[in-house]
Amino acid sequence: EDGSSKTVSEGSNGMDLAKAISSSLAKKAVALEINGELKDLGTPIRDGDKVKIIKVGDKKSYEVLRHTTSHVLASVVQKLFPAAKVGVGPATEKGFFYDFKISDHKISDEDLLKIEKEMKRFAEGAHQIEKFFIEDVDAKLSEYKNAGELFKAELLEEHRNNQPTEYFFVDNNGKKHWSDLCAGPHLPNTKFIKHLKLTNVSGAYWRGDTANEQLQRIYGTVWWDEEEFQNYLKQQEESEARDHRKLARQHDYFSTHEMAGAGLIFWHRKLATVRAELQKFWEKEHMKAGYEFVDTPHIAKSELWDISGHNSFYKDNMFSLKVDEEEYVLKPMNCPFHVLIFKNNKHSYRELPIRMAEMGTVYRNESSGAVHGLARVRGFTQDDAHIFCTREQFKSEIQGVFRLIDKIYSALGLDFKVEVSTKPEKAIGGDDLWDFAEKGLMESLNELGIEFEINPADGAFYGPKIDFKLKDALGRIWQGATIQLDFNLPERFDLNYIGSDSNPERPVMIHRAIFGSMERITMVLIEHFAGAFPLWLAPDQVMVIPVTDKHNEYALSIRDFLIDNDIRAKADLSSERMNYKIRTAQEEQIPYMLIVGDKEMEDNSVNVRFRRAPEQLSMSKEELLAKLRSEINNKTL
């Protein structure tokens, strides 16, 4: 890593190199990076290679640990359930999974405990992990097929010309116990695998295709040390408590209905209120940033999507219907509609940039198995906007969008990191245009002094993009805003403006969404705040609680005073005891409770209690109103 050189004898591998550097390094070494590529520690090194020893705890070591552990899982499952056939078992960001076809058994929670126990026992055996090249692919294919390992056979057939490899678990006596077709890399042996837990089992389709067989997917997690392992388990426990679907049932936020269809959200009063407040905030900030608001239809003829390119690149995700013998499409995106509005009038360079915004509801044909609460839906409302500008303006416009995103996320208490996604495999437009666009995005961020990572080949089909990854209260990452640069739709729709030389010029188009969708952002906020929304977003901001029935009329007068001053207030006039009413309001995460009794009636005051604090304050209703307004106007978190 320090750029120094090391000479070792010809034929040496990564472990030999680690030993040549220090014995302590050799004990911690788990993998090898050769010329930027992750490899097994036993991989031979050659003259001139740039190498890095990957140690226990290094960032890249987790991928090797987790992928190796997935193979231990597969070997144990096939031992405990001999009918099991294996699919694939990759590492994930926080763990691993493996897919199985088990025709005679459905894995239960009790099974997970047995499998986990056996995995730990197997790992303690310190089995060596040895790599072998498959010399005779046809013979190995026959072996797999005869054993019923059709998924392995399919993968081997695909990779027959890529020097396919097989990995074996080998015990201390040199006996081979189990093998799997895999490209690696893996740990040198299983003794490193200690802090693991199997978490759940779910259904999954082979290769994610609903046309293929459904398999059983077992998930797990594994870590290098006990502290990070326990921290992860605690975070998972907290994540489950904050799950927006669980909180939705508890607080009556939203519902879906089989009668209506999967992935279609019914917003109930409380969450609809949160949504309305977010939208008011969004509209006000956009007005200040120079946006104009538009509203467009939900469907359009298929011809429009031919011109835009969606029918070529996105058709599987689109809903279509017949109207008067013509094919129409439910819009999956708002961009072609904004293009048509721009195209409807002639424009001069003096008018640009034109910033067009819409809360536009779109529809995408997600598989029913993929829909998930508010996170993955079929119908959702994008806080969409498109900017039409000159080539000279687009960098400053991107910077303006960035500042707006930063302002809005700051108000919500959300941190973020930034990625630039480059040209995907399937894309519209030439390399020169893409290079210009990608360079422009990166220069825009560099000029703002913003750090970013490159996410290769993950851009939209029409242009590169900047992605904002949101970080919530638990440190979890969510997809947030995007800024996408598009030189292609203006070309396809023949958009023009009159330049300073009186000749027609092609505008640059910037696509951007800040919330991403109203569904996604409310999901993130529910889990971020654990349902305890700040005052300005809270569905119910104040609950007035009379001590006895004789204080009901005064409680109603306080409620009405607050409502008249645009505070969302309610009064609990139920027959329950006062302490029960307070506890109920706390459970419903209402920010302020106002206790009113004889003293408050005499003083024309209220006794104020905040949901998180035990202390109570006495103040006049005017003082309370001033406090509430200040907190709302400042968007105090």
Predicted local confidence at residue 331, as pLDDT: 94
Q: Which residues, including other chains, have CB under 8 Å from residue 67's CB and lie 6 or more apart?
A: 89, 90, 91, 96, 185, 186
The answer to whether residue 486 scores a pLDDT higher than 90 is no
How many CB atoms are located within 10 Å of the residue 348 CB? 11
- Among 483, 519, 480, 514, which Cα is nearest to 362's? 519
The answer to whether residue 221 scores a pLDDT higher than 80 is yes
Question: Is 364 in the active site?
Answer: yes
626 in Cβ contact with 608 (< 8 Å): no
Q: Which residues, including other chains, have CB under 8 Å from residue 296's CB and lie 6 or more apart?
A: 331, 334, 337, 338, 341, 358, 360
Question: Is 250 in the active site?
Answer: no
Backbone angles phi, psi at 200, to 5 degrees: -165, 170
Q: Which residues, including other chains, have CB under 8 Å from residue 494's CB and lie 6 or more apart?
A: 343
Predicted local confidence at residue 290, as pLDDT: 96
307 in Cβ contact with 339 (< 8 Å): no
The answer to whether residue 19 scores a pLDDT higher than 90 is yes
User: In which order are the strands placed within the sheet that holds 592-596?
Assistant: 569-571, 542-546, 592-596, 605-610, 616-620
The answer to whether residue 457 scores a pLDDT higher than 90 is no
Mean pLDDT along residues 176-203: 93
Predicted local confidence at residue 429, as pLDDT: 78
Q: Which residues, including other chains, have CB under 8 Å from residue 194's CB and lie 6 or more apart?
A: 120, 123
Strand partners, 468: 418
389 in Cβ contact with 353 (< 8 Å): yes
Give 189's DSSP letter.
B
390 in Cβ contact with 376 (< 8 Å): no
The answer to whether residue 1 scores a pLDDT higher than 80 is no
User: Cα dist. 410→102, 280, 407, 494, 634 in Å?
Assistant: 49, 16, 5, 38, 12
Q: Three-state SS for 209?
A: coil
Q: What is the mean pLDDT of the chain?
A: 93
Predicted local confidence at residue 367, as pLDDT: 78
Mean pLDDT along residues 85-104: 93
Confidence tier at 3 by pLDDT (50, 70, 90): confident
Give 105's DSSP letter.
-
Annotated catalytic residue, options 386, 423, 570, 581: 386
Based on DSSP, count helices (H) and strands (E) in the chain, helices before strands.
20, 30
Predicted local confidence at residue 560, as pLDDT: 97
Comparing 9-23, 36-50, 199-213, 508-522, the range with the smallest average pLDDT is 199-213
Predicted local confidence at residue 461, as pLDDT: 78
Annotated catalytic residue, options 71, 195, 338, 364: 364
Annotated catalytic residue, options 216, 382, 393, 589: 382
- Among 500, 492, 495, which Cα is nearest to 392's? 500
How many CB atoms are located within 10 Å of the residue 209 CB? 9
Give 30's DSSP letter.
E
* Most trustworthy range by pLDDT among 305-319, 452-466, 581-595: 581-595
Q: How far is 65 from 72, CA to CA, in rounded Å?
A: 11
Question: Is 214 in the active site?
Answer: no
* Tokens of residue 240, six digits: 């489950």
Annotated catalytic residue, options 286, 310, 331, 511: 511
Q: Are strands 379-389 and 508-513 parallel, antiparallel or unpaired?
A: antiparallel
Question: Which uninterrupted H or E stretch holds 437?
Answer: helix 431-448
Which tens digits make up the pLDDT trace of 389-406? 999 999 999 999 999 999
Side chain identity at 230, as an amino acid letter?
Answer: Q
Annotated catalytic residue, options 286, 310, 465, 581: 465
Side chain identity at 147, as an amino acid letter?
Answer: A
60 in Cβ contact with 85 (< 8 Å): no
Q: Where are the beta strands (DSSP E) in 9-76?
A: 29-34, 37-39, 51-55
The answer to whether residue 378 scores a pLDDT higher than 90 is yes
The answer to whether residue 443 scores a pLDDT higher than 90 is yes
Mean pLDDT along residues 123-134: 92
* Tokens of residue 600, six digits: 């408050």
Which tens digits make up the pLDDT trace of 303-336? 999 999 888 878 888 999 998 889 999 999 999 9
The answer to whether residue 512 scores a pLDDT higher than 90 is yes
Q: Which residue has the tokens 């031919």?
A: 306
Predicted local confidence at residue 177, as pLDDT: 86
* Sign of the dihedral through C-alpha 369, 475, 221, 90: positive
Predicted local confidence at residue 487, as pLDDT: 81
225 in Cβ contact with 192 (< 8 Å): no
Annotated catalytic residue, options 99, 111, 384, 540: 384
Q: Which residues of 280-292 are buried (b: 16+ CB within 10 A; e: fewer)?
A: ebbeeebeeeebe
Give 431's DSSP letter.
H
Q: Which residue has the tokens 């799950």?
A: 243
Question: Which uninterrupted H or E stretch holds 68?
Answer: helix 61-80
pTM for this predicted structure: 0.81
Question: Is 145 in the active site?
Answer: no
Confidence tier at 250 by pLDDT (50, 70, 90): very high
Q: Which residue has the tokens 């197997």?
A: 122
**More confident call, 284 vs 491:** 284
Give percent helix, percent strand, percent coil of the chain, each to the nearest 5: 40, 30, 35
Residue 258 CB burial class (10 angstroms; 0-12, 13-18, ≥19): exposed
Predicted local confidence at residue 428, as pLDDT: 77
Question: Is 335 in the active site?
Answer: yes
Give 39's DSSP letter.
E
Which tens digits make up the pLDDT trace of 589-606? 999 999 999 999 999 999
Predicted local confidence at residue 132, as pLDDT: 93
Q: Which residue has the tokens 């906020």?
A: 525
CA 353 to chain centre: 31
Annotated catalytic residue, options 111, 180, 195, 335: 335
